Amino acid sequence: METKAPKKKIQTMAELAREAGVSASTASRALRNSPLISKETIERVQSVAKEHSYRPHLGARNLRLKKNNVIVLILPFNYAEEDVLGNPYIFKIVGTIGSKLREIGYDLLLSQMDDISEEIDDRYVHAGIAEGAIILGRGDNDTAKLKRLEETGIPFVILGPILDNQTYCSVGIDNKSSGCMAVHHLAKLGRKRIAIVSDNREDPNAESYARFQGYKQALDELGYPFDPDLVGPSTHSGKSGYDAVQHLLKTAPDLDAIFVATSDVVAISVMQALRNAGKHVPDDVAIVGFDNIDMCNFVSPSLTSISQRLKDEVAHLLVEKLLDQINGKQVESVMLNGSLVVRRSCGSQTDYPLRV
Amino acid sequence: METKAPKKKIQTMAELAREAGVSASTASRALRNSPLISKETIERVQSVAKEHSYRPHLGARNLRLKKNNVIVLILPFNYAEEDVLGNPYIFKIVGTIGSKLREIGYDLLLSQMDDISEEIDDRYVHAGIAEGAIILGRGDNDTAKLKRLEETGIPFVILGPILDNQTYCSVGIDNKSSGCMAVHHLAKLGRKRIAIVSDNREDPNAESYARFQGYKQALDELGYPFDPDLVGPSTHSGKSGYDAVQHLLKTAPDLDAIFVATSDVVAISVMQALRNAGKHVPDDVAIVGFDNIDMCNFVSPSLTSISQRLKDEVAHLLVEKLLDQINGKQVESVMLNGSLVVRRSCGSQTDYPLRV
DNA sequence: TACGCCAATGCAATCGATTGCATTGCATAA
DNA sequence: TTATGCAATGCAATCGATTGCATTGGCGTA
């Protein structure tokens, strides 16, 4: 038998110190390889620590160092009710953020909150639980709340577009130009009656608002008239895509393309509704979705979509910007361009290679 | 103007106490409505606290109380590479667990780990960061690791089936009987050549193993012979469903049903592959998936699937069992029955009402 | 008046790791 | 021999909230 069997666990620095015949301060320094401590002592302490599988109590360390290596990730609840958690796009971002944080030694606390509010400060940052927050999404009425959050002075970043007069940091894609791109692509295919499915919020903060503006701008550039009959309302739930199609087929039965600005999940449901109504995709109606989730490759027909390049850039930037703030640096918001991934729902003839 | 504007924030108990003209101990007790403190003092302290928007430093409290109201949720990485995070089933569970925990005042730390190991203890529980762990999934080689984790004595529960000789607590569905149910349903539709798509691991710990056993048992009960040509290999990625169909159409071109035991995501990709191969679902081939994700309603044809009743029962039970352990109670593992949700991929004629 | 009791409050230790400021002891220079 | 320097280590305070045990003062009773 080796000395592999760990003896009874040493729980505290003091116990470790006693076992190694030194004081707690020396033990502490030894574990951290302080140059103040002699080589022999360092080795002895570390080997005793290993032998008894001692691990420091991070709670205590954090208190002393006023540090904690945790960031909190906020999923706004109003958003959640519309099934953020069922939205693979958000989930992927969460996972990627988690990996990035782990690489740099941070942990991730996941919190669903009714509102973006000072609670983030009270409950997490000021409370010494987390050092900053990443907020995934922003609702209609959040401007004032974000203002107050900003006044608390805690580090945070938000996933979303840059708004006018915004003084905090956000990372998002350019929804307007992305919407514009989708419509231009459909027009290039020869489509004349291009509908939009959107949750169509009036709030300029909303992503959907910017995508809708992009839709309008493209129509304008193309010389197409804007027709309210071509607007189908949706929420973020899958079912709402189905309902939007019922609506559109009444108000504009001659439509030949739909830009589903809400999400791919909704777009997939839109395609199903069209099929049930006897419409063929893409021959009768071409479809463009938003988010470019993996599933786009696996539905029939495969779904053309706008990629937010989420895995690498968005998650990476969110983390980077937040950490810069925590370390006292000034940061600027970022707006990324979306990109169009063309698949069968727009008439492309192949499904492979997969485009992810 | 009301006295609404909070004065400069009071950061510590000591400052609060000074401001209210009492000692720190009295202030602490007053905030917690201790019967030791007079009504007047309680009111005064609390109003001063409110006025200066004082919040306790939870890190300090946790250290003192040896408590932290955090549980850590482990996403095994080997699993993650196969895209757990793209799997809506897992994400939903994460969200539901988060909500449950929040209701009872706990926070959720999300951790992706390469391995289930003592690191959970070292880094989280022993370190005073979390009180226990919920582990989402278990791989082939985890038995020994779970044994060691158990020896650390930390509270944990795992999502998965109950294994022979298992001494820790798990919550999962009865994969074997679920697989059995799927096949019996397909047989009842008159299908004779029922294939299975599975990641087909030999490890009895694997969910897929149990589902495969269920498949075999059903064939047995039906008097159908087991035919290796009817087994299509897959991983958890969407693409693998596509590949499995290519394989099956060579080895068993006469198949008339597929039980996609891996997941709905794979099943959706299976359906696309069949369509591309000129096969009609359900007329030529009937399909049953596994997980019953929302998307089942929105693909064409809508997908029959086995529901793990995840939102309410599984997440709820995981949390409950873990908290019981934290509070020193004995707990027993649970095995839930799956249930079949029939949709068009098995010939059902309607998509509505949605079955979620 | 003296004593005891109890409600209300404060003091100081505690949780466990870290660190500024001594202190020790040994070696080298004056 | 005494002074000086420095490497190595220990003491005690600190982070902020909590709590066992003392202390205070006011009231009732003998």
Q: Do A111 and B102 touch (CB under 8 A)?
A: yes
Contacts of A68 in chain B (CB under 8 A): 59
Q: What is the pLDDT of residues A234-270, one digit of tens each?
A: 887 777 888 999 999 999 999 999 999 998 989 988 9
A65 in contact with B, Cβ within 8 Å? no
Q: pLDDT band at residue B304, thresholds of 50, 70 and 90? A: very high
Average confidence score pLDDT of chain B: 87
Nucleotides of D under 7 A from a protein CB: 7-12, 14-20
Give the residue-averaged pLDDT of B68-82: 75
Q: Quick check: B356 pLDDT over 90? A: no
One-letter amino acid for residue B171 of the chain: V
Chains A, B: CB contacts within 8 A come to 172
Q: Do A268 and B295 touch (CB under 8 A)?
A: yes
Per-residue DSSP letter, A167:
-
Nucleic strand D within 7 A of Cβ B24: yes
Q: Quick check: A356 pLDDT over 50? A: no
Distances (CA, A) of B198 to A308, B86, B90: 32, 18, 18
| Three-state DSSP class for residue A196 | strand
Percent of chain B as helix, strand, coil, to the nearest 5: 45, 15, 40
Least confident of A3-17, A49-63, A186-200, B283-297: A3-17
Q: Quick check: A189 pLDDT over 70? A: yes
Q: Scanning the structure block, which residue is given the tokens 């969110």?
A: A318
B280 in contact with A, Cβ within 8 Å? no
Sheet strand arrangement including B194-198: B231-233, B194-198, B257-260, B286-291, B304-307, B339-341
Q: pLDDT band at residue A80, thresholds of 50, 70 and 90? A: very low
Q: What is the pLDDT of residues B255-272, one digit of tens each?
A: 999 999 998 989 988 998
Q: What is the pLDDT of residue B115?
A: 75
Percent of chain A with pLDDT over 90: 58
A242 in contact with B, Cβ within 8 Å? yes
Q: What is the pLDDT of residue B80?
A: 42
More confident residue, A69 or B112: A69
Q: pLDDT band at residue A81, thresholds of 50, 70 and 90? A: very low
Give the residue-averaged pLDDT of B306-317: 80
Integer Cα distance of B57 and A341 in angstroms? 48
Give the residue-averaged pLDDT of A78-83: 48
Specify the nucleotide whose C1' lies closest to residue A59 (CA).
C16
Beta bridge partners of B233: B198
The three-state DSSP-derived secondary structure of A247-297 is HHHHHCCCCCEEEECCCHHHHHHHHHHHHHCCCCCCCCCEEEEEECCHHHH
Residue B193, min C-alpha distance to chain A (Å):
24
Q: What is the pLDDT of residues B124-147, one digit of tens each?
A: 999 999 999 999 877 666 788 888
Least confident of A89-93, A260-264, B262-266, B287-291: A89-93
State the virtual CA torsion across B60, B64, B65, B66 in degrees, nearest 10: 90
Q: Scanning the structure block, which residue is given the tokens 């290679």?
A: A353
Percent of chain B with pLDDT over 70: 90
Contacts of B55 in chain A (CB under 8 A): 122-123, 126-127
Q: Do B272 and A122 touch (CB under 8 A)?
A: no
Integer Cα distance of B27 and B21 in angstroms? 9
Q: At what angle do helices B24-31 and B13-20 cross, to 10 degrees?
A: 100
Average confidence score pLDDT of chain A: 87
Q: Residue A50, by phi and psi: left (phi above 0), alpha (psi -120 to 50) or beta?
A: alpha
Integer Cα distance of B178 and B339 in angstroms? 7
Q: Residue B343, by phi and psi: left (phi above 0), alpha (psi -120 to 50) or beta?
A: beta
Give the residue-averaged pLDDT of B282-302: 89
Q: What is the pLDDT of residue A156?
A: 96
B63 in contact with A, Cβ within 8 Å? yes
Q: Quick check: A176 pLDDT over 80? A: yes
C1' (D21) to CA (B55) span, angstroms = 28
Q: What is the pLDDT of residues A22-47, one digit of tens each?
A: 999 999 999 999 999 999 999 999 99
Label residues A50-84 b or e (16+ Cβ within 10 Å = b).
Answer: eebbbbbbbbbbbbeeeebbbbbbbbbbbbbebbb
Integer Cα distance of B107 and B69 in angstroms? 6
Answer for the pair B241, B260: CB distance below 8 angstroms, yes or no. Answer: yes
Give the residue-averaged pLDDT of A285-312: 85
The three-state DSSP-derived secondary structure of B35-56 is CCCCHHHHHHHHHHHHHCCCCC
Distances (CA, A) of A252 to A182, A197, B205: 20, 13, 54
Q: What is the pLDDT of residue A301?
A: 86
Using alpha carbons, select from A163, A180, A168, A254 the residue that is nearest to residue A222.
A180
Give the residue-averaged pLDDT of B153-161: 90
Q: Quick check: A79 pLDDT over 50? A: no
Q: What is the pLDDT of residues B228-253, one digit of tens each?
A: 999 999 887 777 888 999 999 999 99
Q: Residue A95, by phi and psi: left (phi above 0), alpha (psi -120 to 50) or beta?
A: alpha
Nucleotides of C under 7 A from a protein CB: 7-12, 14-20
Using alpha carbons, select from A260, A263, A287, A265 the residue that is nearest to residue A275.
A287
Q: What is the pLDDT of residue A355?
A: 45
Beta-carbon neighbour count of residue B220 at 10 Å? 12
**Which structural domains are found in chain B, ordered by start?**
13-56 (1.10.260.40), 70-173+310-336 (3.40.50.2300), 175-308+340-346 (3.40.50.2300)
Q: pLDDT band at residue B351, thresholds of 50, 70 and 90? A: low
Per-residue DSSP letter, A314:
I
Give the residue-averaged pLDDT of B313-323: 93
Q: Quick check: A110 pLDDT over 90? A: yes
Q: What is the pLDDT of residue B205?
A: 67
Q: What is the pLDDT of residue A139?
A: 64
Q: Quick check: B355 pLDDT over 60? A: no
